[in-house]
């Protein structure tokens, strides 16, 4: 529990191998008869672990608890990769960034804000200028920006949206699902474990792979970087050294994935990690049939 800016924050600990459990949310909210909890924050797709929380079901849990808390969702690594429904799921604030599914450099942040959240912001006492929507809302009415805009990224965004809509969002989601499935098939064929344990929470943006005991993920990552000029994601925090992450989001297709998987498979061999060869073939069989 931390106190910053007069905000009391309560972390509901997880085990890093599951998404947020809707039942836990419902139970916790039911305990809060006085409605002291003002907002629930959930990360849609956890980039560190490859787990995608079930935002719609968590919404149902909040409703079941009949609790008025705001519902805040981070979609940094899920937006434009995995289906997401701000309105349908009655999310109050969705935040996202430009550098993942939108295929742009980092530099743009997005907020989708409900009327309820705007209303709450009016009376918020932790008013940090950085978090204020008011300047932006005022200026946007006239088509301008309150501060220096990242104009180049706005042009990029226009083009990224054009690309996504040309492909069709449903096709974009299906592509990410297909490439993620192929990745998981390769991981399983290697005899390695997906950090995420819940099939319906497997991330279609990235897959975190657990190293066999006694083998360091960062040593493997270094072998692959040095030999094949491919930089895999490191394990963060308590899974440092224990997992490596394979990204398969954004501007990504079948042969980029097979190139990636072949690099992992060769790297596992060079690094002397115990594994079964053939992950690449299993993935290719799946891709050739889908």
Interface residue list for a second copy (CB under 8 A): 4-5, 97, 99, 105-107, 126-130, 148-153, 227-230, 253-256, 258-260, 262-263, 265-266, 269-270, 277-278, 280-281, 284, 287-288
CA angle 258, 262, 264 (to 5 degrees): 120
Output the smallest distance, CB 229 to a second copy, in A: 6
Among residues 62 and 81, whose Cβ is nearest to a second copy?
Answer: 81
Return the number of the residue (22 or 77) whose C-beta is nearest a second copy.
Answer: 77
Q: How far is the CB of 119 from a second copy (least distance, A)?
A: 21
Q: Minimum CB separation from a second copy for residue 60, in Å?
A: 31
List of residues 6+ apart from 266 with CB closer than 8 A:
224, 227, 228
The minimum distance between CB 14 and a second copy, in angstroms, equals 21
Name the residue nearer to a second copy (CB basis): 111 or 227.
Answer: 227
Alpha helices in 168-278 (DSSP H): 169-189, 217-228, 254-270
| Token pair recorded at residue 142 | 């006239």
Min. distance of Cβ 99 from a second copy in angstroms? Answer: 6
The residue assigned the tokens 């094949």 is 228
Nearer to a second copy, 23 or 256 (CB): 256
Phi, psi (degrees; rounded to nearest 5) at 195: -60, -40
Minimal CA–CA distance to 164: which of 179, 174, 149?
174
By C-beta, is 31 or 144 nearer to a second copy?
A: 144
State phi, psi for 77 to the nearest 5 degrees: -105, 15
- What 19-22 contacts at long range (C-beta under 8 Å, 24+ apart), as own/partner pairs, is 19/46, 19/51, 19/52, 19/53, 19/54, 19/196, 19/198, 19/201, 20/53, 20/54, 20/58, 22/54, 22/57, 22/58, 22/60, 22/61
d(CA 178, CA 152): 32
Q: Which is nearer to a second copy, 132 or 161 (CB)?
A: 132
Least distance in Å: CB of 13 to a second copy?
20
To a second copy, the closest distance from the beta carbon of 150 in angstroms equals: 5
If the CB atoms of residues 148 and 166 are measured against a second copy, the closer one turns out to be 148
């Amino acid at each position: 529990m931390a106190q910053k800016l007069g905000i009391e924050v309560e972390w509901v600990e997880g085990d890093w191998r599951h998404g947020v459990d809707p039942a836990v949310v419902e139970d916790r909210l039911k305990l809060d008869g006085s409605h002291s909890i003002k907002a629930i924050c959930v990360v849609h797709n956890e980039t560190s672990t490859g787990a995608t929380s079930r935002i719609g079901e968590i919404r149902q849990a909040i409703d079941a608890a009949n609790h008025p808390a705001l519902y805040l969702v981070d979609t940094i690594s899920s937006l434009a990769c995995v289906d997401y429904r701000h309105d349908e799921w009655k999310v109050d604030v969705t935040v996202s960034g430009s550098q993942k599914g939108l295929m742009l450099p980092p530099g743009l942040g997005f907020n989708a804000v409900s009327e309820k959240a705007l209303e709450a912001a009016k009376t918020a006492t932790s008013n940090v200028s950085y978090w204020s929507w008011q300047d932006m809302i005022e200026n946007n009415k006239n088509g301008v920006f309150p501060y220096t805009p990242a104009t180049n990224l706005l042009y990029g965004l226009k083009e990224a949206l054009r690309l996504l809509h040309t492909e069709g969002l449903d096709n974009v989601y299906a592509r990410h699902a297909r490439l993620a499935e192929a990745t998981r098939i390769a991981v399983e064929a290697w005899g390695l474990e997906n950090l995420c344990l819940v099939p319906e929470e497997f991330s279609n943006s990235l897959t975190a792979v657990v190293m066999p005991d006694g083998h360091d993920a960062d040593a493997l990552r270094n072998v692959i970087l040095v030999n094949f000029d491919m930089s895999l994601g490191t394990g963060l925090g308590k899974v440092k050294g224990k997992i490596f992450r394979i990204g398969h989001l954004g501007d990504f297709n079948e042969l980029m994935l097979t190139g990636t998987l072949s690099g992992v498979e060769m790297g596992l061999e060079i690094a002397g990690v115990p594994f079964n060869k053939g992950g690449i073939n299993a993935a290719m069989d799946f891709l050739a049939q889908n």
